[in-house]
Amino acid sequence: MYCQGLHGSLVSHANPDNRRENRMRWFDYLLRRLIMAVFVLISVSVITFFIARVIPSDPAAAWVGSHPTQELIAKARLQLGLDRPLWVQYLRFMGDLLRGNFGVSVRTHQPILNDTKAYLPATLELVVVAMIIAVIIGIPLGVLSGARKGSWLDHSTRLIAIAGVSLPIFFLGLLLQLTFFGKLGLLPLGSRISNDIALNHPIHVQTGFYLVDSLITGNWAAFRDASVHIILPAFALAIFDIGLTICMTRSSMVEVLNEKYILAARASGISERAVLFVLALKNAIIPTITVIGLSFVYSLTGAILVEVIFSWPGLGSYVTNAVLSIDFPVIVSVTLVVTVFYVIINLILDLVQAALDPRITLN
C-alpha cells in the first residue's frame, strides 16, 4: 500500500541508469511536496480561522473576564482587531504566523507559542510511548497470526485487532481506570506525576519529556513515578494502533509468505524464526510503517480524549479548554501545529518507503 495524493506517487523503478537523473527526481519530488504542504497549511488555516470566527460567541467578552462591561468589551475588540473585516483579520493572523507569532490566548492572555511549547512535550511523550507499545505488541502478533493463518492463534489475534479498532477510547480509558485503580489499586487514576514526587523530587525540565528528563538527571524516584503514571493513558491511546498494526502486518505476512523465495528458504533448512522475523518481515513491514506513521498523527488528535480522562496536562487538555471558552486563536494555532506534523510525517514515510524498497522511486 503506497501513499498517493498528498504523499506523491510512488512507482516501480529498478536500477536507474543515471544517478544524476535520480537525484533530480528526489529534488523535484521534495520541491513539489513542499509546495503542496504550503497549500495544505493555507487551506487548513482558512477553514479553521473562518469557522472559529463564525461560531456565535464574543471573544472580546471572554478576553475581558467574568464581569465585562460594554466599554471594556469595546476596548478589547479594538485591541484584538475584531472590529476589522474577517479577511483583514486573517491576513493579519497569517502575517503574525509567518513571523513566528501565534497570537495571544483569549483565555490565559499568554502567548500561544509559549503555551504550545509547555503543553506539546507532554502530548508527544504520551504518543511516543503509545506507539512503542503498539509496535511491540502489534507487529509480533501480526507476524504470528499471518504465519498461522486459520489457526486458533490467528482467530484470537484477529479478535484482539477487531476489538482494538472498535473500542471507543473514552470507554476503554474509563474501563482501565475502574479496573486498575478502582478495583485493583495498582496504577494511579491520572495526572502526569504524583504531588509528593513533584514536591520532594522535582524534575528539572530540559526536554519536557518527564521520562527522559528524570532519566538523564538520575532522578529515579521521579522516573519510576512518571513511568507508572503513563501506563494507563498510553495503553488506552495505543489500543487502536495495536489493532491496526496487527491487521496490516498480518495481511502483508500472508501475502509475503506465499512468495517463492520464502518457500526456498524454508526448503533450505533456515529456521522458522529467521524466515518469519528476518526474511518475510523485511518486506511485509513496509506498508506497516506507513500505517504506524499515520497512526502517530491520528494519536495526536486522539490524545485529546485520553488527556481529558486521565487529567494529562498536554496539548489535548489545552485545546479542550480553548474550545470550551471559544478561544479561537488557540484552536487555529493547534490545528496548524497538528497539520504540520501530518505533512512532515507523510513526507518521511514516502522517503522511508523508497529507501527500504529498491524497486520504488519517487516520480
CATH of domain 114-324: 1.10.3720.10
Give the mean pLDDT of 109-138: 90
How far is the C-alpha of 185 from the C-alpha of 180, rounded, in Å?
6
How far is the C-alpha of 95 from the C-alpha of 99, rounded, in Å?
7
How far is the C-alpha of 9 from the C-alpha of 350, rounded, in Å?
9
72 backbone dihedrals φ, ψ, rounded to 5°: -65, -40
Query: To which H or E segment does residue 241 belong?
Result: helix 220-256
Does residue 126 carry a pLDDT above 50?
yes
Nearest to 302 by CA among 247, 349, 233: 233
Q: Who has greater pLDDT, 64 or 18?
A: 64
Question: So where are the chain's domains?
Answer: 1-107+347-363, 114-324
pLDDT in tens, 37-60: 888 888 888 888 877 777 666 677
Q: Who has greater pLDDT, 31 or 76?
A: 31
CB 244 within 8 A of CB 295: yes
Query: What per-residue confidence (pLDDT) applies to 346?
Result: 81
91-102 b/e (C-beta count within 10 Å ≥ 16 → b): eebeeebeeeeb
Q: How confident is the model at residue 3 (pLDDT cuts 50, 70, 90)?
A: very low
Q: Tell me, what amino acid is at 78?
A: L
CB 62 within 8 A of CB 106: yes
Q: How confident is the model at residue 349 (pLDDT cuts 50, 70, 90)?
A: confident
pLDDT in tens, 153-187: 889 999 989 988 888 888 888 999 999 998 998 89
Q: Who has greater pLDDT, 253 or 26?
A: 253
Q: How confident is the model at residue 5 (pLDDT cuts 50, 70, 90)?
A: very low
- Cell readout for 19 is 544517478
CB 280 within 8 A of CB 253: yes
Mean pLDDT comparison of 50-64, 96-110, 172-186, 331-345, highest-scoring range: 172-186
How far is the C-alpha of 327 from the C-alpha of 106, rounded, in Å?
5
Q: Give burial (CB, 10 Å; 0-12/13-18/19+) of 353.
A: buried
The angle formed by the CA atoms of residues 201, 207 and 213, to the nearest 5 degrees, is 30
How far is the C-alpha of 317 from the C-alpha of 73, rounded, in Å?
27
How far is the C-alpha of 85 from the C-alpha of 52, rounded, in Å?
14
Query: What per-residue confidence (pLDDT) applies to 363?
Result: 57
Does residue 9 carry a pLDDT above 70?
no
Does residue 255 carry a pLDDT above 90?
no
Does residue 319 carry a pLDDT above 50?
yes
Query: What per-residue confidence (pLDDT) applies to 274?
Result: 85
Q: How confident is the model at residue 292 (pLDDT cuts 50, 70, 90)?
A: confident
CB 1 within 8 A of CB 354: no
Query: What per-residue confidence (pLDDT) applies to 361?
Result: 55
- Count CA atoms closer than 13 A to 220's CA, side-chain side: 0
Does residue 135 carry a pLDDT above 60?
yes
- Count CA atoms closer than 13 A to 280's CA, side-chain side: 32
Distances (CA, A) of 353 to 3, 137, 139: 9, 22, 17
Query: What per-residue confidence (pLDDT) applies to 13?
Result: 45
Query: What per-residue confidence (pLDDT) applies to 348?
Result: 81
- Please provide the average confidence, as pLDDT, over all residues in the chain: 82
CB 224 within 8 A of CB 119: no
65 backbone dihedrals φ, ψ, rounded to 5°: 125, -160
pLDDT in tens, 10-37: 344 445 455 676 677 777 777 887 888 8
